[in-house]
Structure 1
Amino acid sequence: MSGTLDKSASNEGNGYSEKIEGQGQQIEQTPIAPRSSFLAIAKRHFKRFWWAHLIFFCASVLIIALCLVYVAMPKIAQRGVNRSSTTFTDLNFLDPTANTIVLSQDAILHSPSMYTPTLDPFSAALYLVTNGTYAATPMLSIMMPKIHALHPKSIVHTPPQTLNISDMDQLTDYCIQVLTQENVTTALVGKTKLHEGKLPVITVKYNSSTTYKSLNGLAGFNVTDLKLNLSAPAGQPNLVGKAFIPNPSVMTIAMGNVTLNLSTDQAGIVGNSTIHEMTLVPGNNTFSMTSIIDAGKVTSSMNKSGIVTLKIIGTSSVYNGQHLPYYEKALASNVLTLDLNVAAVLANSQ
């Protein structure tokens, strides 16, 4: 062959041109640029479209923030309210009428949440809870104060307020349970606004049930210092003494003038007793008591040991001249018994 081959570059993969001479012809190959790496392509893309990526980033952050504020935070706030609990330290039912009652209360709010929100004042319906079941209707509506929930606990003071009785039957059932059971459960239910720092105001549901000690059937009731006046005119008190009533609860209950019927199995009704201005306070209570009894029926009911077993049932609760039906029905539901030593009473009456 008479031609010569002149290579000025090695191959197209390295981007070199190749020149071939032979048989009077000259062939040139166009050089091929090296392929760019992914990183280089990405750099050029971001350099060209940086504004689009910035907009996308800001929009994503905004969407996440809005979801956190308007979706996650309300759920977190509601969960915190749901997990809170209340312990009553003072519960007062004062100045009752047939249709109203004055209530005040102090409580400890337990909050496991690390947040310290503030709840606006709100109206809460008070329900009786029996064996975990809420009553069909509330008995009272209470105006709850502004609450600043601290971790792990804070004090909530509800000042005295006159409340209309929403459901007489429910309040009566509550009074019966308070008088006859060891514990009672009630629940406060309502809606309010929750504030947490600079976050938007959140509407939360408040539903908190609390179990607390009640009067336990007046267990420990006793009568002391009894003195019989056999010369008292008919229809006038002829027996006086002291009524001892323990109150294991935190409740103060004003019941007015309370009248109790006295009876025996042998003779039926043998008289009645009255405690004037009876207000039960936490701890031990001692009241002056006056009674009108039929001495003949009492002595006829004695056993061989001179003991008379009296049954005591409340019949009347009058405050400022008004009968209180919810207390009267509660008193009638609780039967007390008392073994009365007639000989000791007569000896103390000398």
Structure 2
Amino acid sequence: MGNTGKDSIEEKTSHVIGANRPDFTAGRRSGKEKTSRGSVQQIENAGVMEEDSHPAKKRGCFARFWAHYKRHWCLYGLGGVIFLAIFLPIFFLIVFPAIAQRMVDDASLPIYSASITNPTPDSVQYSLFAGLNVPKPFSVKLKPIALNLLVDQNPPNRNPYITVQLPEQNLKGNATITVTNQTTNILDKEIFGTFLHSAVYQETFILSASGATDAYVGKLKAHISLDKKVELKGLNKLKGFGIASARAVLPAEADGTNLIAELTIPNASLVSFELGNVTLNIIVGGILLGNATMKNVYLVPGNNTVSARGVVNLKTAIMNLPAILSSQVGALTSGNIEMSASGNSTIYNGHHIDYYEKVLNALVLTTQFPLLSILMDSLTGVLGGNGGTAIPFASGYNVTNIIPLLQNLTAIAGF
């Protein structure tokens, strides 16, 4: 029984103590639950943060533009139509003609040969062989063009002296332009004479040409202007003119010919000139002694050897011999005689070609020729042909004893 009472007291005491004592385990349990719940949230948040740290890739510019275009294609289409409506007229009316004109302006125009033939008082036949370099890979078709030939002078004169008709040309790469024996009227003789003067007297001269036509590059058409200036070699006053050979003909032939010579006439240019029958004055020591005529003269580029038949007034030569010899001191020292020739007349098919005469008649050509060579060829032939004894020219003859020989020659000739 004693134990029962004791147990009862202990139960009561423990009950009272338990009632008054704080329960520390409850807080621990609560903290564990909160901690557990916090851990779950942290894990979830960590997953969200991990996803946010790797955002989706942005679309490229083209993809964004394409998406924008698909949404606004109507506006783009309308804008394209408006752009073409503005650009195409500008291209066809302004841009392409400017490009075509620039191509023609930049294209070189080398001239390989030219000729002026069959002259009449009012016309000539003109031939031209030239090139026109068209930039690759373009191909240009030029419709027929009236090509005006001009004189490049200061101030500029835009009046053509002749007009050459060029046929339709298809040009690609290093193309050629050819005109063959085209008869054309001389539009202005004074300007044509100016051109001839520059071609004959100058070392170089300018050949100017201009014209306008339609050009096609494929199906595209443009109106272009051809304006070219080409520098060419001139005849340079026929520098290099000389006498290849000469001999006297005594007695004179029926037409009065008493001098036959071979003349060398250079043509430094690439232009050929058909002159016809050209008569030159023969001048020695400033004294006009006669003339020489060259038949059917056609000067091609290079040296031309032309036969000449002359009529020399020997009486005038003998009468003025002292004056002639005194003017020849420098030449005679070298055993030569200095002779000059100037234009007298130029006749083609019976007509005087005045524009040639105007140029050539003002031109004086001077050359030297071995005097003893002329005398040897002349006197040997004359005396031997008349039954006399040929004169030995091997030695012993000089300027002093030439005069008696010439006097003897004139006596034989009947002067």
Residue 188 of structure 2 corresponds to residue 167 of structure 1: yes
Residue 215 of structure 2 corresponds to residue 186 of structure 1: no
Q: Following the alignment from structure 2 to structure 1, what is the Cα–Cα distance between the partners of residues 119 and 91? A: 49
- Describe the shift of the 1:60–1:233 C-alpha distance in structure 2 as closer, same or farther (beyond 3 A): closer
2:152 is paired with a residue whose SS is: strand
Residue 154 of structure 2 corresponds to residue 98 of structure 1: no
- In the alignment, residue 148 of structure 1 is paired with which amino acid? N
Q: Following the alignment from structure 1 to structure 2, what is the Cα–Cα distance between the partners of residues 193 and 339? A: 56
1:307 Cα offset (Å): 4.1
1:84 to 87, 103, 107: 107
1:49 Cα offset (Å): 5.5
- In the alignment, residue 320 of structure 1 is paired with which amino acid? N
Q: Deviations over 1:137-162 (max 9, x none)?
A: 210011012222323x2111112211
Q: Which residue of 2 aligns with 1:156?
A: 177
Q: Which residue of 2 aligns with 1:210?
A: 230
1:46 Cα offset (Å): 6.5
Which runs of 5 or more residues in structure 1 are unaligned? 1-38
- Larger deviation, residues 219-228 vs 332-341: 332-341
Q: Which residue of 2 aligns with 1:9?
A: none
- Describe the shift of the 1:91–1:60 C-alpha distance in structure 2 as closer, same or farther (beyond 3 A): same
Q: Following the alignment from structure 2 to structure 1, what is the Cα–Cα distance between the partners of residues 157 and 81? A: 51
What TM-score do the two structures reach when normalised by structure 2? 0.69
1:44 Cα offset (Å): 10
1:256 is paired with a residue whose SS is: strand
Q: Which residue of 2 aligns with 1:60?
A: 83
- CA RMSD, Structure 1 to Structure 2 (Å): 2.5
Q: Deviations over 1:92-143 (max 9, x none)?
A: 1111100000001100113346532111111121101136x53342100110
- Larger deviation, residues 214-223 vs 296-305: 296-305
The question of whether the paired residues in 1 share the 8 Å contact of 2:242 and 2:368 is answered with no
Pairs within 5 Å for 1:115-154: 115-130=138-153, 134-151=156-173, 153-154=174-175
Structure having the higher helix fraction is 2
The question of whether the paired residues in 2 share the 8 Å contact of 1:243 and 1:287 is answered with yes
Of all paired residues, the percent bearing the same amino acid is 28
Q: Following the alignment from structure 1 to structure 2, what is the Cα–Cα distance between the partners of residues 193 and 44? A: 47
- In the alignment, residue 248 of structure 2 is paired with which amino acid? L
Q: Following the alignment from structure 1 to structure 2, what is the Cα–Cα distance between the partners of residues 46 and 255? A: 78
Q: Deviations over 1:282-331 (max 9, x none)?
A: 22211111111122444511235364322211121100001101111110
- Larger deviation, residues 285-294 vs 111-120: 111-120
The question of whether the paired residues in 2 share the 8 Å contact of 1:298 and 1:308 is answered with no
1:59 Cα offset (Å): 2.3
- Larger deviation, residues 111-120 vs 87-96: 111-120
Q: What is the number of residues matched between the two proteins?
A: 307
Q: Following the alignment from structure 2 to structure 1, what is the Cα–Cα distance between the partners of residues 126 and 66? A: 73
Q: Which residue of 1 aligns with 2:38?
A: none
Q: Following the alignment from structure 1 to structure 2, what is the Cα–Cα distance between the partners of residues 190 and 73? A: 19
1:86 is paired with a residue whose SS is: coil
The question of whether the paired residues in 1 share the 8 Å contact of 2:247 and 2:261 is answered with yes
- Describe the shift of the 1:150–1:235 C-alpha distance in structure 2 as closer, same or farther (beyond 3 A): same
1:235 Cα offset (Å): 6.6
The question of whether the paired residues in 2 share the 8 Å contact of 1:85 and 1:210 is answered with no
Q: Which residue of 1 aligns with 2:310?
A: 291
The question of whether the paired residues in 2 share the 8 Å contact of 1:179 and 1:334 is answered with no
- In the alignment, residue 85 of structure 1 is paired with which amino acid? S
Structure having the higher strand fraction is 1
Q: Following the alignment from structure 2 to structure 1, what is the Cα–Cα distance between the partners of residues 96 and 70? A: 38
Residue 141 of structure 2 corresponds to residue 111 of structure 1: no
What TM-score do the two structures reach when normalised by structure 1? 0.81
